[in-house]
Amino acid sequence: MPDQSARANGDVKYFERRVWFAPNREPDLIPTISLVGFEREFSGKRIFMRELLETAAKTIALAREHTPMEDSEHVENTEDACIVVKALRPNQKDFEWKPQPIHSKGITLGWQKYYYMVEAGESARPFRFFCSPRIAADTTITCTNTLSLEDSDLRKRARETPVSDPRCDSFLKTQDAWEATQQWKNLQLKLKAFAGQHRIKNIVCAGLGTLYPRKDPEPDPRCEVWKYYDHHPFYQHLLACSIAKFLGETFPHPDNSTGALQIVAHDPAYTKADLQFLSQLPQPISIVSDPHHYLTITPETLVVGIHVPAPVHEIVADMLYPSGPAAWLCGKIQGDQDWHKEGRLWEYDSWTPRVGEMMALYEMINLRDLGWTDSQLDPWCTRDGWSWLAQQVLYLRKPEKSLEMETSADRLDKCR
């Protein structure tokens, strides 16, 4: 269990948690751990700095080439091995080669949440990122190739190969239909008012999903909502294109010859078909490998991430400190639970004290207020492709807002 180490140290405390979609159900008991000691030890120092992400980018590229880092020349380079990187402090990097039972067709980059760093304890030297084999990755493009924003033969071929997919016409027709809705007109008003004060220069999408999912012939009968998620990537990418086109045309930039803003996207599930499809849209989407999407995020970026399992907010909060992206389109960051008031964290929290500091820079606009029908407001609606958007929020950075230099450790000490 994820909390075994912390439980052994007597640091686990259980809280009742009610789920929003079943308010009458008995509350769950969830284990939480304290971040007070962890933040005090780091004294507010940021962990996910840009230099760390650049190191991760270099490391994953070398791992895919089966080339050890200079730091680990003493380790034998074998065909059936994968580099695993452990790091906690600056200038303290451990590079280990882990033999695998089978040759991996792809290598994926993983990021460690603060929860797991704290749960592991200092003696375990918790690591920030790791590279590991991705079994059966033969169809995923971001795990078998290292794609940055720089042009490559692979990206050129994707742009130049004709797409014979009826979903191309469907995508454009659906986009036209969406841009005629009152909900889109209402969202445009909010974006226009904000972008007049804060220029948005690019859009970065994290974890929007593949447009070519593998079908499960026998979905779990207990899961009534499996269809609900199946077609959402289509609409989520479509929304990013509409926003890019609108902001690019409304607030043109002399360096932008296409009219639309640049859209960068990463999902470990992307395939070559996704690369080809998305790169040929009228508002093209550039697929990149982890962590290149993070490296394109600046204080002038709109970040779109819908229920992303990766610690996107944790990474961006550190990387852009003391600022944050211009805007977020994502689920609501819940930082008002009872355990948060004690400086504690649950395994599945998007909130951490550092994320909470960053989110204080923003005003929140609930996208339920765009003028949806009752059925579209139903979170379990499977008949409407846009019902997911009504469950999201738009965070817009307040004018001239920056973080006060009080550290997370200072804030957590107040929780004691």
pTM of the model: 0.85
**DSSP state, 352?**
-
As a dihedral over the C-alpha atoms of residue 222, residue 312, residue 2, residue 227, rounded to 10 degrees, the angle is 10
Is residue 292 classed as helix, strand or coil in its secondary structure?
A: helix
Q: How many CA atoms lie within 13 A of 405 on its CB side?
A: 0
Burial of 143 (C-beta count, 10 Å sphere; 0-12/13-18/19+): buried
Quote the CA–CA distance of 8 and 5 in Å, as a whole number: 5
Spatial CB neighbours of 178, under 8 Å, sequence gap ≥ 6: 184, 235, 238, 239, 242, 386
Please report the pLDDT score of residue 402 as a whole number: 52
Please report the pLDDT score of residue 256 as a whole number: 59
The residue assigned the tokens 């909390």 is: 3
CA 361 to chain centre: 19
Please report the pLDDT score of residue 240 as a whole number: 97
Q: What is 87-154 written as a DSSP string?
A: E-STT-EEEEEEE-SS--S-EEEEE--HHHHHHH-GGG---SEEEEE-TT-TTBHHHHS---SS--HH
The residue assigned the tokens 């749960």 is: 119
Consecutive H or E run containing 265: strand 262-266
Report, in angstroms and rounded to the nearest whole number, the Rg of the chain calculated over CA atoms: 22
As a dihedral over the C-alpha atoms of residue 410, residue 110, residue 83, residue 210, rounded to 10 degrees, the angle is -160
Q: Going by DSSP bridges, is the β-strand pair 301-305/202-206 parallel, antiparallel, or unpaired?
A: parallel
Beta-sheet strand order (sheet of 262-266): 285-287, 262-266, 202-206, 301-305, 327-330, 393-397, 362-366
Q: Are 64 and 107 in contact (CB under 8 A)?
A: yes
The residue assigned the tokens 């004290």 is: 353
Q: What is the pLDDT along the chain (416 residues), one digit of tens a residue?
A: 334 444 434 489 999 887 766 677 888 899 999 988 888 887 778 889 999 999 889 888 877 776 544 443 333 334 444 555 544 444 444 444 444 443 455 788 889 888 888 887 753 455 678 877 766 556 689 888 889 998 888 999 998 888 778 888 899 999 999 999 999 999 999 999 998 888 899 999 999 999 887 665 444 443 343 343 446 899 999 999 999 999 999 988 766 555 689 999 999 999 999 999 999 999 999 999 999 999 999 999 999 999 898 999 999 999 999 999 999 999 999 898 899 999 899 999 999 999 999 999 999 999 999 999 887 887 666 567 888 899 899 999 998 655 554 444 444 444 44
**DSSP state, 47?**
S
Q: Are 276 and 254 in contact (CB under 8 A)?
A: no
Burial of 227 (C-beta count, 10 Å sphere; 0-12/13-18/19+): exposed
Quote the CA–CA distance of 263 and 325 in Å, as a whole number: 15
The residue assigned the tokens 């932008």 is: 256
Tokens, residue 218: 């026998």
Quote the CA–CA distance of 208 and 274 in Å, as a whole number: 12
Quote the CA–CA distance of 274 and 143 in Å, as a whole number: 13
Please report the pLDDT score of residue 332 as a whole number: 93
Query: Long-range pairs for 247-250 at CB < 8 Å and ≥24 separation?
Result: 247/191, 247/195, 247/200, 250/192, 250/195
Amino acid, single-letter form, for residue 162: P
Q: Are 384 and 376 in contact (CB under 8 A)?
A: yes
Quote the CA–CA distance of 33 and 116 in Å, as a whole number: 10
Please report the pLDDT score of residue 363 as a whole number: 95
Longest dimension (CA), the chain: 63
Please report the pLDDT score of residue 1 as a whole number: 36
